[in-house]
Amino acid sequence: MRAVSWRSTPDARMWEAGPVTQKQYIADGIIVLWDNDRCIHSEHCARNLPTVFRPGQRPWIDVEGDSVEAIRRTIDGCPSGALAYRLPGDELAEPSEEAAEEDVVAEAMGIVEESAAEAVSITVEADGPLFVEGPVSIVAADGTVVQTTDRAWLCRCGHSANKPFCDGSHRRNSFSDPGVSSAT
């Protein structure tokens, strides 16, 4: 699997034609993308850049509230990946057939890009979701790829309305599990 960042994957094209839960906020120098279905409402963005990310206000994202660099840094730290951005000139084209063939040849020869060799880690959050970090594809039971990403929060409480992703329901339902293995 090729490891690429969220904002440059072909998946980012879904922002343009996706359902209403995905919104764009446009300013000079940046387009901020937000996917409500993917958001776990941790408020990381609002705590780190309250002049841009303003829950309770409409529109809740004011892309002119701070510098492009500050917005990029905050979005890069979004724990769920629900926030993304595009900069002028970003291309969202599919990898060419030639590039795909090069990937297959490189893999067959044992030549792997450094980013593709990254390990995936899964962290059990106490009283919360599973945090998956590293290049992964989340695949539905029927084999369709739901999402390819570098990080995801997956539901552990069973109450998410957006399974397999966490939507913060564990807090509303007082889910309690310390996340410590009982195996010895």
Q: What is the pLDDT of residues 127-178, one digit of tens each?
A: 989 988 888 888 888 888 888 888 888 999 999 888 888 888 888 899 999 8
Count of CB atoms situated within 10 Å of the CB of 108:
8
Which structural domains are found in the chain, ordered by start?
1-117 (3.30.70.20), 118-178+180-184 (3.40.5.90)
Residue 99 has pLDDT above 70, yes or no: no
Query: Tens digit of pLDDT for each residue in 27-38?
Result: 989 999 998 888
Question: pTM of the prediction?
Answer: 0.55
d(CA 84, CA 70): 13
| Token pair 């009982």: residue | 182
